[in-house]
């Protein structure tokens, strides 16, 4: 199959069946920790990069297979090898998935496009949103996530705040922490105020665990992670 992968055992989602909505490394960020390597060309252009009917055809085939009947899949996750919100027909996909299955839908996203209400509206049909937020200032944002021109961290934060007010499901906020880039304890004293504005159900601290194409990307000490987690409060956990 070209667009459906797994199911795979996920630390946060249990048994997850993944769907790719865009071609390999189609993204508006070029994160230094990305296990898939560098983004060849960052883009903000949204279009139907992969036809929804082709994705649904594969999903329908999988759901009707003998193998599927023996699986207890916890989530269908919209993620893949690029930024899923770049597919302009994501709302159609969500609607079509719901016609095929009652399995909860999770969206894994870098959150960079949530500043636009029409994009937020397009994904309100999912059950769980897992956005990432690695920085609260533009300097750090550029250092760790290397965004496409035109993206601003405060716009992203405001988009997440608005999403919380509009979305009735759960939000698990992920923060990827890279040693020497965004692991300063005083930085997270400020970060916690931003998180309070977003009001996620959970905060997940993550670190680079797989090979990255960038030299010098390293994991903070475990004790530093524990201190950050304590600063961020009861909703926070290290994954």
Secondary element (H or E) of residue 164: helix 153-166
Statement: residue 214 has pLDDT above 80? no
Position with higher pLDDT, 66 vs 146: 146
In tens, the pLDDT along 139-194 reads 999 999 999 999 999 999 999 999 999 999 999 999 999 999 999 999 999 999 99
DSSP for 78-104, written as a single string: EETTS-GGGBTTHHHHHHHHHHH--S-
E strand intervals along the chain? 4-10, 14-20, 75-79, 105-109, 128-131, 170-176, 202-206, 236-238
Reading the block at residue 200, the tokens are 């996620």
Q: Can you give the C-alpha Rg of the chain in angstroms?
A: 17
Statement: residue 117 has pLDDT above 90? yes
- Residue for token pair 């636009």: 116
Q: Residue 40: which pLDDT band, with cuts at 50, 70 and 90?
A: confident
Lowest model confidence (mean pLDDT) among 6-10, 151-155, 233-237: 6-10
Position with higher pLDDT, 137 vs 216: 137
Residue-level pLDDT at 50: 95
In tens, the pLDDT along 90-112 reads 999 999 999 999 999 999 999 99
Reading the block at residue 216, the tokens are 């010098």
Statement: residue 80 has pLDDT above 90? no
Domains of the chain: 4-168 (3.20.20.70)
DSSP for 106-126, written as a single string: EEEE--TTTTSHHHHHHTTTS
Mutual orientation of helices 153-166 and 185-198 as an angle, nearest 10°? 40
Residue 118 burial class via C-beta count within 10 angstroms: exposed 0-12, middle 13-18, buried 19 and up: exposed
User: Residue 115: which of 166, 155, 161, 149 has the closest Cα?
Assistant: 155
Strands 170-176 and 14-20 turn out to be: unpaired
Secondary element (H or E) of residue 160: helix 153-166
Strands 236-238 and 14-20 turn out to be: unpaired
Query: What is the C-alpha to C-alpha distance for residues 13 and 136, in angstroms, rounded to an integer?
Result: 26
Statement: residue 1 has pLDDT above 90? no
Residue 90 burial class via C-beta count within 10 angstroms: exposed 0-12, middle 13-18, buried 19 and up: buried
pTM check: above 0.85? yes
Residue-level pLDDT at 213: 64
């Amino acid at each position: 199959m070209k667009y459906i992968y797994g199911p795979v055992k996920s630390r946060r989602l249990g048994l997850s069946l993944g769907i790719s909505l865009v071609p390999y490394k189609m993204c508006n960020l070029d994160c230094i920790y990305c296990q898939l390597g560098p983004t060849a060309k960052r883009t903000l252009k949204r279009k139907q990069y992969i036809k929804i009917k082709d994705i649904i055809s594969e999903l329908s085939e999988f759901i009707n297979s003998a193998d599927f009947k023996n699986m207890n899949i916890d989530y269908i996750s919209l993620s893949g090898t690029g930024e899923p919100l770049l597919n302009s027909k994501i709302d159609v996909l969500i609607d079509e998935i719901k016609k095929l299955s009652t399995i909860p839908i999770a969206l894994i996203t870098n959150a960079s496009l949530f500043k636009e209400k029409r994009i937020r509206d397009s994904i309100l049909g999912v059950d769980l949103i897992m956005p990432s937020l690695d920085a609260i200032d533009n300097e750090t944002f550029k250092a760790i996530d290397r965004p496409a021109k035109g993206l601003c961290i405060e716009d992203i934060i405001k988009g997440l705040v608005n999403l919380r007010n509009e979305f009735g499901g759960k939000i698990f906020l992920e923060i990827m922490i890279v040693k020497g880039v965004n692991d300063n304890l005083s930085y997270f004293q400020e970060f916690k105020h931003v998180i309070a504005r977003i009001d996620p159900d959970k905060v997940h601290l993550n670190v680079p665990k797989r090979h990255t194409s960038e030299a010098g990307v390293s994991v903070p000490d475990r004790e530093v992670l524990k201190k950050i987690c304590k600063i961020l409060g009861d909703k926070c956990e290290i994954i």
